[in-house]
Amino acid sequence: MSINFIDVFAGCGGLSLGLSEAGCNGVFAIEKSPLAFETLKHNLVDGARHKFAWPDWLPKKAMTCEDLLEKHHSDLSSGSFKVDLIVGGPPCQGFSTAGKRNPDDPRNAMTEEYLRLIKIIAPQFIAIENVSGYNMHFKNSKSKNEAPPASYADYISAKLEALGYDVSRGLINCSDFGVPQNRVRYIILCSKKERDKEPNNLFDKLTSRKKEFLKSCGLPTNRKITVSEAISDLCTFGKPLIQNRDSGQSNFQELLYKVPTDKSSYLKLMRKGCGTIPPNSLRLANHKPKTVEYFRLVQSICRPGFSMNIEQRKLAGTLKHSTTVLSPSLPAPTVTTLPDDIVHYSEPRILTARENARLQSFPDWFEFIGKYTTGGSARKSECPRYTQIGNAVPPLLARAIGQLFQEEVLLLANK
């Protein structure tokens, strides 16, 4: 018996991919960015490995949760439409630790739309993934009618409990689930309350099954996956380069990829089912000589695996706070939407989009669509490849969550 799900605020499909790899069945996904939706559609709607069922009444195009609720309320609330699981995390710009937390940010109205959708569909299970700042307390609110919520996590948890759900939540480091990256996220997992039963603490179940999950993926259970295990086959020194094949721009190069004979357990997982086919999104940055020299300087003065401190920034002549040189023997720092946040451990360059995808645990068969980067005012509206990857839920974490829900469905079926 497989669980079926819908993914809201789906991005390029990291959460949907992981759930699908766990054997869950996608019904549809909602994402407002046309670029991110095209990547999701290419892999999980039109792709060969996993296919959303997708109802006839819903267009296969980018849309918002608000669009869904306004135009398809009757379809969602009809007795024939049933979904076991709703997943997703409302966009985090209004409450990330990377910036100020503003409870009055209009983008946070998306949380209300998410709650409305849950109320209409009433799924058995809910999963919410967001930044670690999701549970940090607000300091100020301009709202005059009511006291501000302590945090978004507290607010949404109280709403879900009022809708009849057992709610369990906490922080998770994705590196504990085989992702070669120290990415801390706030997870909320819910199941419908059962009368006269103890609350179902799904979060504790998820964290207690880490080793079992890693074994199921063929990954080591006694240590973290390192950067070298994830991306060393994508190094370019001493290897032939060719013209980039997927950006439509002839002035970029990429690695002529050859599958290594000696693969780490992580690389075996990423390359599963790919044969000798190279991954896409291998385009190398066209760094100017001055930029290459800057990255060499940064590599020479930085402690690998740690962000530059004040003295190192002065030596490098930069005001940028978050630059980190990778350590090949450690997990990566958090992959963000900014390509120049991370410098390669042995080459004076930023990472390729595919290297970032590997650090996020996207398998090599998953192809990213659209432009690589954007700039200026377009950053606010466009979602190019680096942004899609940096915003994604790591598929391996999503797979662990999917396996948990599959086990929960079996328990319910056997009662």
Q: Could you give the C-alpha distances from 121 to 94, 124, 271, 402, in angstroms and in order?
A: 26, 9, 37, 19
pLDDT (tens place) for every residue of the chain, 415 residues total: 789 999 999 999 999 999 999 999 999 999 999 999 999 999 999 999 999 999 999 999 999 999 999 999 999 998 889 999 999 988 655 554 433 446 666 666 888 899 999 999 999 999 999 988 888 877 655 555 555 567 888 989 999 999 999 999 999 999 999 999 999 999 999 999 988 889 999 999 999 999 999 999 999 999 999 999 999 999 999 999 999 999 888 899 999 999 999 999 999 999 999 999 999 999 999 999 999 999 999 999 999 999 888 888 888 888 787 899 999 999 999 999 999 999 999 999 999 999 999 999 999 999 999 999 988 778 778 899 999 999 999 999 999 999 999 999 998 888 7
Cα–Cα distance, 86 to 252 (Å, whole number): 40
Q: Which member of 92, 190, 302, 383 is catalytic?
A: 92
Judge contact between 70 and 46, C-beta under 8 A: no
Domain boundaries, the chain: 4-220+394-410, 227-391
Judge contact between 33 and 374, C-beta under 8 A: no
Work out the number of other CB atoms within 10 angstroms of the CB of residue 251. 8
Cα–Cα distance, 415 to 408 (Å, whole number): 11
Cα–Cα distance, 414 to 407 (Å, whole number): 11
pTM of the predicted model, to two decimals?
0.93
Q: Is 92 a catalytic residue?
A: yes
**Domain 227-391 in the same topology as domain 4-220+394-410:** no
Q: Could you give the C-alpha distances from 123 to 151, 163, 168, 289, in angstroms and in order?
A: 24, 11, 16, 55
Domain boundaries 227-391, CATH class: alpha beta
Q: CATH number of 4-220+394-410: 3.40.50.2300, 3.40.50.150, 3.30.1330.10, 3.90.1640.20?
A: 3.40.50.150
Going through 196-259 in order, the beta strands assigned E by DSSP cover: 241-243, 253-255
Q: Residue 65 carries which DSSP code?
A: H
